Amino acid sequence: WPFERAILLIKLNLHIWGLVGAPIQKGSVWSTFVGGDISRAVAVTPDSVYAGTREGRVAALDVATGEERWVTETGFQITSSPTVAGTTVMVGTKDGKVLGLDTATGKVIWDFQTQGQITAAPVVAGDTLYVASRDGTLYALTAP
């Protein structure tokens, strides 16, 4: 079953809602306002939930409690779902940047510039990070 720990929902009122883990039952476990319009799906690891906003925030929340671990103001509108690989969470921006943030601190540790908006989530396969840009190019980068 792919949702062993929990199912997460994003509502238009800008809250992330955590639901009871498997077996799925009715009821909300937590709700956290992330301070912006959540732009796409969230990324979930065993201990954290990551979300990006149109206002340029990337947030990490505790998966069990919904407590904020960190929020980073990137200065760029986040237009892709986050992707997590190792200790890096990656997001794409309207300005064509891919940002790599440290999962523990939220600090931007690297960025890569394309010539078009990034709307698809970056994908990691093996040692390669794939980024599709609206400039019509598929970028294959060394994974973090």
pLDDT at 1 over 70: no
The tens digit of pLDDT for each residue in 6-61 reads: 444 444 445 555 555 566 666 778 888 888 889 789 999 999 999 999 999 999 99
pLDDT at 76 over 50: yes
Provide the Cα torsion 55, 57, 62, 66; round to 10°: -20
The tens digit of pLDDT for each residue in 114-142 reads: 999 999 999 999 999 999 999 999 999 98
Domains and CATH numbers, the chain: 8-142 (2.130.10.10)
The tens digit of pLDDT for each residue in 86-108 reads: 999 999 999 999 999 999 999 99
What's residue 137's pLDDT? Answer: 95
Cβ neighbour number for residue 59 with a 10 Å cutoff: 25
